Structure 1
C-alpha cells in the first residue's frame, strides 16, 4: 500500500470513530443564518464545526483535547470541509475583536463563574450583527430529564444565560428550555436542554 493510500485509509477509519451528527438545535438555529465566520468553542469531536463548514461557514474549532482536534483535522480533510482546528482551553482562549459572525457554545458545561469568564472573552469577538448561540443541558434536567451532568454546579438555565448575555450588551432573541429525545439500551428518554440566542446589535 502506498503512503498516500495508507494516509487516506487512516483518515477514513478515524472519521468513523466518533459522533458525526451535528446537534439538532445547532442545525435548526444556524440554518436561518447567513454563512460567515464561525467559532465553535469547546468543539469536542467536531460534528457541529464540520457541518457548519459544509454549509459555507469559515470555521474555527477550539478544544483543549489534542485527540479531538486531531480527529477534526482528519475528518475535515477527508470530507474537504476545511476547519481551522486549534488546541486551546476555552477559559484562556481570547479571539480577536470583531472576528466572528457566529460563536457557538454547545454543551460547554462549566461552573457559572467560569462560564461568565468565557462569555466575557467571546462577546467582544462578535462582529456587529453576529450571534452567540448557547446549547446545553438545563438545570431542570436534574429533576425532570435524563442524562447529562449530575453536578448542579455545572448546569445553568436559559434565564441565567439570558441575564449574563444581556449584561454583556447583547440583545437576547431566544431563551428557552427544549426537549431532546435520547436513545439507550432500554429505550428512549427525554433530556431537557436550553437554547439561547443573542445578537450584537449596532451601537
Structure 2
C-alpha cells in the first residue's frame, strides 16, 4: 500500500473497513484528509487514541465514522483516494462495496484494493480460511468492469505473513489499483 500511495499528492481519502485506522493514520501524517469508516466503535476509539500520539495537527485530518461498509454509501465523486484493505466479504457484498467505492472517486481519483488472494489458502500463510470471501485480481476487475475505471495494476503479490497474520511464511495478496480518469480539458477554439 505504501508504494501505491506515496506518489500521489495529498487530497481527500476514504478508508473503508479501516479497523483501528493504521493506514488512515499514515495517510493523515502525509497530509491527506481521511474519512475512516469501520463498524467497530472499539476499533475507532483505539484509532482516535493512536492519532493523539501523532505530531500536532495530524489528528485534525481524520474524520471517524462508525458504519457498516455493506450499507454505508460514501459521498459520490468526493475522494482522491479510496482504500479497501483486507475486507473479505462474500462476492455479492464485495461487489456492492466496490461499486459504491468507485462511485465515490473524484475525477483523477484512485481506488486501491488489497486483500488475501484465493491462492493464499494453498500457497500462503494466514488470512481467512473461507474461500468464499477471498478474491483474485480478476475478481475485482470483473466486479468493477462497467464502472469506467482505468486499470493501473492488478496482480498477486507476496509479503511476509508475520505473527499478527497467522505466523511465519508468506501471504499471497491480490492488489488492484484503478483510477477514474479526469475528463479531458477542452482546447480553446481559434
TM-score, normalised with respect to structure 2: 0.89
- Residue pair 1:165, 1:198 contacting (<8 A) in 2 also: no
1:192 to 172, 179, 190: 172
1:55 aligns with 2:30: yes
1:36 aligns with 2:11: yes
Q: Give me the whole-angstrom Cα distance separating, in 1, the residues matched to 2:132 and 2:115.
A: 13
Q: Give me the whole-angstrom Cα distance separating, in 2, the residues matched to 1:183 and 1:98.
A: 36
Count of residues in correspondence between the two structures: 178
Partner in structure 1 of residue 51 of structure 2: 76
Q: Give me the whole-angstrom Cα distance separating, in 2, the residues matched to 1:183 and 1:62.
A: 25
- Residue pair 2:125, 2:167 contacting (<8 A) in 1 also: no
Post-superposition offset of 1:202: 3.1
Q: Give me the whole-angstrom Cα distance separating, in 2, the residues matched to 1:201 and 1:61.
A: 24
Q: Give me the whole-angstrom Cα distance separating, in 2, the residues matched to 1:91 and 1:171.
A: 24
Partner in structure 2 of residue 4 of structure 1: none
Q: Give me the whole-angstrom Cα distance separating, in 2, the residues matched to 1:128 and 1:183.
A: 37
Partner in structure 2 of residue 149 of structure 1: 128
Aligned-residue RMSD, C-alpha = 1.7
Q: Between Structure 1 and Structure 2, which shows a larger proportion of helix residues?
A: 1
SS in 2 for 1:78: coil
Q: Give me the whole-angstrom Cα distance separating, in 2, the residues matched to 1:76 and 1:32.
A: 23
1:102 to 61, 81, 88: 81
- Residue pair 1:182, 1:188 contacting (<8 A) in 2 also: yes
1:64-115 CA deviation, whole Å, 9 max, x = no partner?
0000111111221232422101100001111111110000000011111001
- Residue pair 1:37, 1:99 contacting (<8 A) in 2 also: yes
TM-score, normalised with respect to structure 1: 0.83
- Residue pair 1:166, 1:172 contacting (<8 A) in 2 also: no
1:134 aligns with 2:113: yes
- Residue pair 1:59, 1:84 contacting (<8 A) in 2 also: yes
Q: Give me the whole-angstrom Cα distance separating, in 2, the residues matched to 1:104 and 1:194.
A: 13
Partner in structure 2 of residue 64 of structure 1: 39
1:87 to 37, 60, 66: 66
Q: Give me the whole-angstrom Cα distance separating, in 2, the residues matched to 1:58 and 1:31.
A: 15
Post-superposition offset of 1:187: 7.2
